């Protein structure tokens, strides 16, 4: 009668570890994207437009990873 979404099963330690590591990777990619956009003296010789494009690419990738993480 109940669907999988509403069952009260506890996650295994492996699933919990993978979920937490997925959240950390989401935060890492998101923070790196924001840092690249806001960092004025970026170590690589990129113009502002390329820095913004690369930062947005990392942010979009982090959200794709986050959505895939939530679907599991």
- Looking at the domain assignment, is residue 21 inside a domain? no
Given a contact cutoff of 8 angstroms between Cβ atoms, the answer to whether 51 and 36 are in contact is: yes
* Residue 57 contacts residue 33 (beta carbons within 8 Å): yes
| Verdict on whether the full-model pTM lies above 0.85 | no
Residue 35 belongs to a domain: yes
Residue 54 within a domain: yes
So what's the pLDDT on residue 48? 87
What averages of pLDDT result for each successive group of 10 residues across the chain (72 residues)? 56 86 94 91 83 94 92 78
Q: Is residue 15, in this structure, part of any structural domain at all? A: no
12 located within any domain? no
The count of structural domains within the chain is: 1
- What pLDDT score was predicted for residue 71? 84
Whether 60 is in a domain gets the answer: yes
What is the model's pLDDT at position 2? 46
pLDDT reported for residue 60: 96
Instruction: Judge whether 53 lies within some domain.
Output: yes
pLDDT at 8: 59
């Amino acid at each position: 009668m109940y669907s999988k979404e509403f069952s009260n099963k506890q996650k295994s330690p492996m699933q919990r570890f993978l979920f937490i590591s997925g959240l950390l990777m989401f935060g890492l990619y998101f923070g790196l994207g924001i840092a690249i956009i806001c960092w004025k003296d970026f170590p690589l010789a990129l113009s502002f437009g390329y820095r913004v494009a690369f930062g947005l690419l990392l942010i979009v990738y982090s959200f794709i990873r986050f959505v895939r993480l939530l679907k599991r």
